[in-house]
Amino acid sequence: MNTITRRKAITNSLLTMVSLVAPLSFAQSEYPARPVRLVIPYPPAGPTDSLGRLLAQKLSAIWKHPIIAENRPGAGGVIGAQHVATSKPDGYTLLFTAGAATGSSEVINPKNTPFRALQDFTPIMFIGVQPTLMVVQTSLPVKDLKEFVELAKANPGKFNYGNSATGSAGHFAFNMLKVMTGINVVEIPFAGSAPSNQAFAQGHVETIMGSLLSINPNLQTGQAKPIGVASSERMEGFPNVPTFKEQGFGIEWDTWYGVIGPAGMPIPLVEKISVDMVTALEGEQTRLQIDKMGITRRLGGRQRMYEALKTEVEQATKVAREAKMVKE
């Protein structure tokens, strides 16, 4: 056996020993031994915040340690995400995220996004998806998306669209609509769904797109009128509201939710967290709570979460170029 072959053999043996010892050494440690922070990169009261806090509550009961849901909003979710990306990969700082905060921001604003989703985070768990609903002020004389497009074309620059987060599902779907139809609607950015919905309630914007949970208060007051769903299927609570595709606009962009951590987390630790999170969110009562948020539960592990991040980056890259959404 020559020197190079001998070195390879020794290296392979060491790697095998490490792979066998690592799970055992992790299993002997107690995690968590102290409170865990679950960073939510958006303001309170939005869908990401609501689902994140539900997970924190359920998981605290399993771990017997507080799971602190910590809102760190700003820059379309980038501030909170960056905080987690630069934290120790010990499982005590995690990010409850949606596609906008981690998958899309680096595509739209690469110079001001200090991380890259597939390199700077550890995927942990995929939780579910949420359809994107478009509503307009009830005072607008339109009954569907097609009529809104016609009205916007006849009044270029007159109407405002409230963008809840840069890179969000609604942000991408609306920009795809602008490219597809040529409408001139002014985009007003907000730091989350709560402020964008408040602006809608105050009449500052004529249309918004988002989740049922975030838009529902304006629906209940009668101020918002649903005109389309930017998803593959109609929403369960709005069977009479057609999808964009049914109305002649082939646009589908759902919001997904999941949990990730800093890059470099040990696989055994990731697997433990993932398994415990699945346990926390299982059960019929929990499913009903999630359903009320307008979210479809689709629990998956680290591989499913990795695929969601990868798909988000790929799709966002393609659409951002077509819609000229990239900030130079």
Q: What is the pLDDT of residue 28?
A: 38
* Closest C-alpha among 173, 176, 181, 182 to residue 211: 173
Q: Which residues of the chain have pLDDT under 70?
A: 1-29, 100, 328
pLDDT in the model for residue 191: 80
> E strand or H helix at 299, and its extent?
strand 296-300
The predicted structure's pLDDT at residue 29: 62
Give me the pLDDT at residue 99, please.
79
Q: Given this model, what pLDDT does residue 104 score?
A: 84
Residue 316, token pair as written in the block: 């966002």
Q: At residue 88, what is the residue type?
A: K
Distance, in Å, from the CA atom of 288 to the CA atom of 221, rounded to the nearest integer, reads 24
* Residue carrying the six token digits 């082939």: 250
CA distance 54 to 43: 15
Domains of the chain: 26-130+255-322 (3.40.190.150), 133-247 (3.40.190.10)
Structure tokens at 230: 């930017």
Which pLDDT belongs to residue 96?
Answer: 97
Tell whether omega for the bond before 32 is within 30 degrees of 0, i.e. cis. yes
d(CA 273, CA 280): 10
* pTM flag (> 0.85): no
